Amino acid sequence: MGMWASLDAMWEMPAEKRIFGAVLLFSWTVYLWETFLAQRQRRIYKTTTHVPLELGQIMDSETFEKSRLYQLDKSTFSFWSGLYSEIEGTLILLFGGIPYLWRLSGRFCGYAGFGPEYEITQSLVFLLLATLFSASTGLPWSLYNTFVIEEKHGFNQQTLGFFMKDAIKKFVVTQCILLPVSSLLLYIIKIGGDYFFIYAWLFTLVVSLVLVTIYADYIAPLFDKFTPLPEGKLKQEIEVMAKSIDFPLTKVYVVEGSKRSSHSNAYFYGFFKNKRIVLFDTLLEEYSVLNRDIQEESGMEPRSDGEGDSEEIKAKVKSKKQGCKNEEVLAVLGHELGHWKLGHTVKNIIISQMNSFLCFFLFAVLIGRKELFAAFGFYDSQPTLIGLLIIFQFIFSPYNEVLSFCLTVLSRRFEFQADAFAKKLGKAKDLYSALIKLNKDNLGFPVSDWLFSMWHYSHPPLLERLQALKSSKQD
């Protein structure tokens, strides 16, 4: 009876109070759901202390324990940073942080001689202050993650000076993109008339395509060093494989990821007939800085005759080595190129743009509702930027959660398909060993709670991928 009475009372509240209450309630519901899932997975980390039987051939007990402890530390960090983030967001909403920041932006504009009629200028100041606040509150967490957790488990390669310089550079580059794009978007919404949502969507489509095109050539090199892969057997084999599936490859780069972290990766980018492949140096066994360090520590210099090194040292170096052999790198690229050949990249772009159009259309429907603004403390004005923030971040949050889950399920399906494509190229055996090595190098924990992995994993669990590859490997 009491519950129904409280529900009745809620419906008797003004619309803005109901909206505000629903937003807060949903935010905490999602947080508690995520925490529940994380605790299920944490229980797996705590109780699975020995290598399960089915993993005996895949992972040695030392790597398994290192991986377990790494994931436990990450899980603890994730719990506290998630709790802080949820409390911070709640306090900002309860104490009117958004309208306060908007008024503060207005005061700064006033000092510079811009009145309330300069809404776009005020919006840019608001964005600058909001991103500055976000960067400042996120910095201690990022420092702890990098210099305590990643450092403890042997992944961090950064100095504090490099980290801070990198953070400042990221902030400046973000502002250089965010502020002009936002001002143009707000201007289009202002002058677009009844069909502004179509123009706004087209503008964001063009911006995203331009950013994808220029990112690797002009933005990424500001942070990492890209060098062409030297002529040799690996480059030749990559070019042959690309040609065999009609992938229009123009360049292959190696990025110096080891300067930042010993985690490894590979990707391709570019439109139409101008595709490039990027390999992290940590992915390549012969490039890995870690391997050179291990050789130096063991006093083992690479020799052309292979003599003079004890079998014990060779075994030790081999077990600690990071990265993949050339055949395994080709298998990983076979998987990545599978995403292109099977149209996964295009499908993701289409889904993203359909979603973007739908969101702008619904924004156009809702932007005139004054109670939405009133719910977040805007009683006298309805700034366009604040409307975008309220509708896209808060009102759409249930839809965003459902969409995110659906995209995670689709991503896992795409990963299996890309693995199957690599099989067809005759790379099953090498992809099998590459996945094991990459899991070891990145200290991935191969045992997962079914509900946690279903909700979070964009890639299928390691065992499932290996089982799918095994049949053809045996064939």
> Count of alpha carbons within 13 Å of 201, Cβ hemisphere only?
18
Q: Higher pLDDT residue, 471 or 182?
A: 182
Positive or negative CA dihedral for 319, 324, 325, 327?
Answer: positive
**Mean per-residue pLDDT for 184-192?**
96
Amino acid at 440: K
Q: Which of 16-25, 231-240, 290-299, 387-396 has the lowest mean pLDDT?
A: 290-299
pLDDT band at residue 474 using 50, 70 and 90 as cut-offs = very low
Positive or negative CA dihedral for 121, 125, 126, 131?
Answer: positive
Distance separating alpha carbons of residues 248 and 190, to the nearest angstrom: 41
Output the pLDDT for position 138: 97
In this predicted structure, the answer to whether residue 304 has a pLDDT above a threshold of 70 is: no
Output the pLDDT for position 305: 47
Output the pLDDT for position 288: 55
In this predicted model, what pLDDT tens digit does every residue of 236-293 receive, in sequence order? Answer: 999 999 999 999 998 899 998 888 888 888 888 877 777 889 999 888 876 655 545 5
Range among 225-234, 271-280, 302-311 rated most confident = 225-234
pLDDT band at residue 413 using 50, 70 and 90 as cut-offs = very high
Is 91 exposed, middle or buried, given 0-12, 13-18 or 19+ CB atoms closer than 10 A? exposed
In this predicted structure, the answer to whether residue 170 has a pLDDT above a threshold of 70 is: yes
Tell whether residue 339 is among the known ligand binding residues. yes
Q: Which of 107-121, 268-282, 333-347 has the lowest mean pLDDT?
A: 268-282
pLDDT band at residue 432 using 50, 70 and 90 as cut-offs = very high
State CA 121 to chain mean position distance: 31
**Mean per-residue pLDDT for 382-398?**
96
In this predicted model, what pLDDT tens digit does every residue of 131-165 receive, in sequence order? Answer: 999 999 999 999 999 999 999 999 999 999 999 99
pLDDT band at residue 37 using 50, 70 and 90 as cut-offs = very high
pLDDT band at residue 294 using 50, 70 and 90 as cut-offs = very low
**Mean per-residue pLDDT for 325-330?**
93
Catalytic residue numbers, as ranges? 336, 419
Which residue pairs from 190-193 have beta carbons closer than 8 angstroms and sit at least 24 positions apart in sequence?
190/120, 190/384
Q: Higher pLDDT residue, 441 or 299?
A: 441
State CA 306 to chain mean position distance: 42
In this predicted structure, the answer to whether residue 316 has a pLDDT above a threshold of 50 is: no
In this predicted structure, the answer to whether residue 25 has a pLDDT above a threshold of 60 is: yes
3-state secondary structure of 275: strand
Q: Compute, in degrees rounded to 10, the torsion defined by CA atoms 292, 295, 298, 304.
A: -160
Which residue from 344, 209, 173, 325 is spatially nearest to 267, judged by alpha carbons?
344
How many of the other CB atoms lie within 10 Å of CB of 166?
16
Contact status, residue 284 vs residue 323, Cβ threshold 8 Å: yes
* Helix H or strand E encompassing 23: helix 15-47
Output the pLDDT for position 91: 98
In this predicted structure, the answer to whether residue 90 has a pLDDT above a threshold of 80 is: yes
**Mean per-residue pLDDT for 422-439?**
92
Output the pLDDT for position 472: 52
Mean pLDDT, rounded, of the chain? 88
Q: Which of 86-100, 191-205, 222-236 has the lowest mean pLDDT?
A: 222-236
**Mean per-residue pLDDT for 353-369?**
95
Beta pairing, strands 249-255 & 226-228: antiparallel
DSSP 90-114: HHHHHTTHHHHHHHHHHHHHHHTT-
Output the pLDDT for position 28: 98
Tell whether residue 415 is among the known ligand binding residues. yes
Output the pLDDT for position 261: 81
Tell whether residue 151 is among the known ligand binding residues. no
